[in-house]
């Protein structure tokens, strides 16, 4: 287990380093002079030079990279050009909204995907299976920025049950969470179905049936428990859908989270904030995947004991 732990940590460190390098390089991809793009053409020469040296863009690139990593290690992400406040402070303000949305969407996804996936797997090749998979296919094919406005149209505009947008109280969370949650549920239900189908072919399921256990016990206690491990790992990977999807969903519903900050900062050409947001989102993804990976290795005794 220790060996797995060390090797996972090392490879994660390499990935984190690479991600940080790419994010650092983003500002150098700005066509032309990034300082000019950020300040606009009417800016004074003195202001330009001031910003250039404030961002360290006048230094040789390896010094810039070193400074960047030095800042990262001290959680110093620089200052927003727009609000003149430390970026880390701005991020901290936005994180709760995004986490709230992500957790709510995840819960909705699980509540939809498990029943759908289990029904489809248990009644394979029946009308149940094909309807469940058709619903899931529809879910995969409707992007967030179509689903969101349609939900707003029905439940906020026509029925008036929920607010159209913004983040004020529990009611405002429901529509964005459904938008993001159904997108995830569509993928997750297919994974639940295929994983459960694999497990249902295993010998221990046949044994459980041969013992005369009821079909409910076989599925919920024997099959689903064993299917949970791969499903959890896949869920970790699908967190990417959630994180990337939350950017667009936050824009649809004016939800004041990290995603909205990312897009607002792109529009304001506040590139240091864009860099910080991209870094935060991708590092969250990397760390969660490492943790699910480790949890998997630890939960599965075959891997934990090093026999596999």
Partner 1 sequence: MQFFTSHRSWLPIGILGLWCFFAVFGTLLPLNPNHIELSKILVSPSGGEALLGYDDLGRSIWDRLVVGARTSFFVAFWVVSISVVLGTIIGVVSAYIGGVWDMVIVRVMDIFLAFPGILLAIALAGILGPGISNVVIALSVVGWVGYARLSRAQVLSIKNREHVQAAIALGSSPRFIVMKHLIPLIMAPLIVEATFGVAGVVIGEAGLSYLGLGVQPPAASWGSMIRDGADYLLVAPHMVLAPGIALMLVVLAVNLLGDRLRDYLDVRSRSD
User: Applying CB under 8 A, which of residues 4, 19, 95, 197 lies at the interface with partner 1?
Assistant: 19
Closer to partner 1 by Cβ: residue 121 or 252: 252
User: Applying CB under 8 A, which of residues 24, 68, 255, 285 lies at the interface with partner 1?
Assistant: 285
Residues 260-279 that bind partner 1 (CB under 8 A): 262-263, 266-267, 271, 274, 278
30 binds partner 1 (CB under 8 A): yes
Alpha-carbon torsion angle 147, 153, 156, 159, nearest 10: -120
DSSP secondary structure, 199-223, as one string: HHTSHHHHHHHHTT--HHHIIIIII
Please state the φ and ψ torsions of residue 139, each to the nearest 5 degrees.
Answer: -60, -40
Q: Provide, rounded to whole angstroms, the least separation between the CB of residue 191 and partner 1.
A: 15
Q: Provide, rounded to whole angstroms, the least separation between the CB of residue 220 and partner 1.
A: 28
4 binds partner 1 (CB under 8 A): no
Closer to partner 1 by Cβ: residue 191 or 224: 191
Closest CA to 144 of 166, 176, 171: 176
Spatial neighbors of 214 by CB under 8 A, at least 6 apart, are none
Please state the φ and ψ torsions of residue 79, each to the nearest 5 degrees.
Answer: -120, 140
Closer to partner 1 by Cβ: residue 38 or 223: 38
CA–CA gap between residue 23 and residue 304 (Å, rounded): 35
Q: Which two tokens stand for residue 20?
A: 């940080």
User: Applying CB under 8 A, which of residues 4, 205, 239, 294 lies at the interface with partner 1?
Assistant: 239
Spatial neighbors of 60 by CB under 8 A, at least 6 apart, are none
Positions in the binding site for partner 1 (CB under 8 A): 11, 14-16, 18-19, 22-23, 26-27, 29-31, 137-138, 140-146, 149-150, 152-153, 157, 239-241, 243-245, 247-248, 251-252, 262-263, 266-267, 271, 274, 278, 281-282, 285-286
């Amino acid at each position: 287990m220790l060996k797995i732990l060390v090797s996972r940590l090392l490879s994660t460190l390499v990935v984190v380093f690479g991600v940080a390098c790419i994010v650092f390089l983003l500002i150098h991809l700005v066509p032309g002079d990034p300082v000019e793009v950020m300040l606009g053409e009417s800016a004074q020469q003195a202001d330009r030079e001031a910003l250039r040296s404030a961002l360290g863009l006048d230094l040789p690139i390896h010094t810039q990279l070193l400074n960047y990593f030095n800042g990262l290690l001290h959680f110093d992400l620089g200052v927003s050009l727009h609000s003149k406040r430390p970026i880390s402070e701005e991020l901290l303000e936005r994180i709760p909204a995004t986490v709230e949305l992500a957790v709510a969407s995840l819960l909705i996804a699980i509540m939809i995907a498990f029943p759908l996936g289990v029904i489809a797997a248990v009644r394979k090749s029946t009308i149940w299976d094909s309807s469940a998979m058709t619903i899931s296919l529809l879910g995969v094919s409707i992007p967030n920025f179509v689903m969101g406005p349609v939900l707003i149209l029905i439940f906020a505009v026509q029925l008036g049950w929920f607010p159209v947008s913004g983040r004020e109280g529990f009611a405002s969370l429901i529509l964005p969470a459904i938008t993001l949650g159904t997108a995830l549920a569509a993928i997750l239900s297919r994974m639940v179905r295929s994983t459960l189908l694999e497990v249902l072919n295993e010998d221990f399921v046949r044994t459980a049936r041969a013992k005369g256990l009821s079909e409910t016990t076989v599925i919920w206690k024997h099959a689903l428990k064993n299917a949970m491990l791969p499903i959890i790992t896949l869920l970790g990977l699908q967190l990417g859908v959630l994180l990337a999807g939350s950017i667009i969903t936050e824009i649809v519903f004016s939800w004041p989270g990290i995603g909205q900050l990312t897009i607002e900062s792109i529009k304001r050409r506040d590139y240091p904030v864009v860099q910080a947001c991209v870094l935060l989102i991708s590092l969250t993804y990397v760390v969660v995947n490492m943790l699910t990976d480790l949890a998997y290795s630890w939960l599965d005794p075959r891997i934990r004991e090093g026999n596999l």
